[in-house]
């Protein structure tokens, strides 16, 4: 009797669920999954090759087909946008990806987007989307440190977790997220901090939350403006101004700095310590600032804030400073800030404290 009861209860549940799907009462979320390559699309000669393999060879539908669990959480619409390592991403790729993400989110049926890419430059793509996508719907950027073919690959679990995060209503309005290794990071803070470990992604103030058994658990939100409250829309950007990063080291030659400064509209100077600039380089960068190049002092240390008019007279030299943005995040932010023109230094400076 009890066996019969269980069986019929289960059938009833299944029938009720099917009926409610049909009636549109309970629908699986629709998630667009965009593939661009990277290790998550990679393949090695054997399972033992966890660090040496070919990147960007599996198509997004092949990757998803090998991971049926994701389809149980959402209706997936796969699309291959690119098939390249993310070290090749240029501004034109960021714009193309951003416009496609934006168009996907405009579809009223779509609940969120998952973007798969190589982990090398996830921090830049995610931050660019974080500042230029005009939607509350979740956008999750995901990659993996080991290809699907490797022993203990993180590809399937990261991708599954990304779909779970994108499909869950609690992820709305949080800006762009990066999911890896059970953690949910904000695009604002996250950076790749290891060249090979599974635990490669780091946010200086910790992740926003975790994915536990396929459900996001959030513990904090992002304090700075993003997506809907940011001033840029990727749909209205056709190109980005040239902003270069110059990395400080003892023998950095003035001529290299001069050559870059003669081409760029903006320079992020990844200085030593608190964004310090050697005297001989400072002279070149002060002249560049006088000519209208926007120079932002950042730090090569990997964390911390840069103090305006602290060790360096920024007002006098016409320089900007980052708040706590890494040189790579600062480059993305300065490119966007320069879209409004290069004249107003105070407005540019305010961007580093606002975003």
Catalytic residues: 39
Spatial CB neighbours of 220, under 8 Å, sequence gap ≥ 6: 205, 206, 208, 209
Query: CB of 157: closest distance to ligand GLU in angstroms?
Result: 15
Query: In whole angstroms, how close is the CB of 151 to ligand GLU at the nearest point?
Result: 16
Which of 274, 265, 334, 280 shows the shortest CA–CA distance to 298? 274
Q: Is 195 helix (H, G, I), strand (E, B) or coil?
A: coil
Q: What is the DSSP string of 55-66?
A: -S-S-HHHHHHT
To ligand GLU, the closest distance from the beta carbon of 117 in angstroms equals: 6
Provide, rounded to whole angstroms, the least separation between the CB of residue 44 and ligand GLU. 12
Tell me which DSSP letter residue 235 carries: G
Alpha-helical regions (H) of 44-90 = 60-65, 68-73
**Spatial distance between the Cα atoms of 274 and 212, rounded to a whole number of angstroms:** 38
- Cβ neighbors of 161 (< 8 A, separation 6 or more) are 142, 179, 182, 211, 214
Report the residue number, 176 or 288, with the smaller CB distance to ligand GLU.
Answer: 176
Nearest to 241, CA basis, from 337, 132, 327 = 337
Give the shortest CB-128-to-ligand GLU separation in angstroms. 15
The secondary element (H helix, E strand) that includes residue 74 is none
Residues written for the chain:
355
Alpha-carbon distances, residue 280 vs 199, 244, 355 (angstroms) = 40, 19, 31
**Residue facing ligand GLU at closest CB distance:** 118
**3-state helix, strand and coil shares in percent for the chain, rounded to the nearest 5:** 40, 20, 45
Q: What is the DSSP letter of 144?
A: -
Binding site for ligand GLU (CB under 6 A): 37-39, 55, 85-87, 118-120, 143, 145
Nearer to ligand GLU, 127 or 319 (CB): 127
Whichever of 121 and 312 has its CB closer to ligand GLU, that residue is 121
Question: 271: helix, coil or strand?
Answer: strand
The CB-of-332 to ligand GLU minimum distance in angstroms stands at: 16
In the complex with ligand GLU, which residue's Cβ is closer, 145 or 330? Answer: 145
Distance CA 285, CA 51 (A): 40
Q: Please check whether residue 203 is in contact with residue 186, taking contact to mean a CB–CB distance below 8 angstroms.
A: yes
Closer to ligand GLU by CB, 299 or 326: give it: 326
Task: Return the number of the residue (102 or 117) whose C-beta is nearest ligand GLU.
Answer: 117
């Amino acid at each position: 009797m009890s066996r019969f009861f269980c069986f019929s209860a289960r059938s009833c549940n299944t029938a009720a669920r099917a009926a409610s799907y049909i009636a549109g009462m309970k629908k699986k979320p629709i998630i667009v999954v965009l593939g661009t390559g990277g290790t998550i699309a990679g393949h090695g000669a054997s399972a033992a090759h966890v660090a040496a393999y070919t990147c960007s060879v599996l198509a997004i539908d092949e990757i998803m087909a090998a991971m049926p669990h994701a389809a149980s959480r959402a209706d997936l619409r796969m699309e291959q946008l690119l098939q390249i390592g993310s070290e090749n991403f240029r501004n034109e790729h960021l714009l193309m990806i951003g416009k496609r993400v934006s168009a996907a989110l405009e579809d009223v049926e779509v609940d969120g987007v998952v973007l798969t890419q190589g982990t090398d430059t996830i921090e830049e793509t995610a931050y660019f989307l974080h500042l230029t996508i005009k939607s509350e719907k979740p956008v999750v950027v995901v990659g993996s440190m080991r290809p699907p073919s490797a022993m203990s690959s993180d590809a399937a679990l990261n991708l599954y977790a990304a779909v779970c995060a994108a499909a869950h209503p609690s992820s709305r309005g949080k800006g762009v997220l990066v999911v890896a290794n059970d953690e949910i990071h904000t695009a604002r803070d996250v950076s790749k901090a290891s060249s090979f470990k599974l635990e490669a992604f780091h946010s200086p103030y910790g992740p926003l939350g975790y994915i536990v058994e396929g459900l996001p658990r959030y513990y904090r939100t992002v304090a700075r403006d993003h997506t809907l409250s940011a001033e840029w829309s990727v749909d209205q950007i056709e190109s980005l101004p040239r902003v270069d990063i110059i990395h400080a080291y003892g023998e950095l030659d003035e001529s290299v700095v001069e050559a870059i400064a003669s081409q760029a509209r903006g320079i992020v100077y990844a200085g030593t310590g608190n964004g310090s600039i050697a005297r001989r380089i400072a002279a070149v960068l002060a002249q560049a600032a006088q000519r209208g190049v926007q120079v932002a002092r950042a730090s090569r240390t990997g964390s911390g804030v840069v103090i305006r008019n602290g060790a360096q007279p920024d007002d006098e030299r016409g320089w900007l400073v980052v708040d706590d943005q890494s040189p790579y995040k600062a480059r993305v932010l300065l490119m966007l800030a320069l879209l409004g023109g290069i004249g107003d230094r105070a407005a540019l400076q305010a961007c580093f404290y606002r975003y």
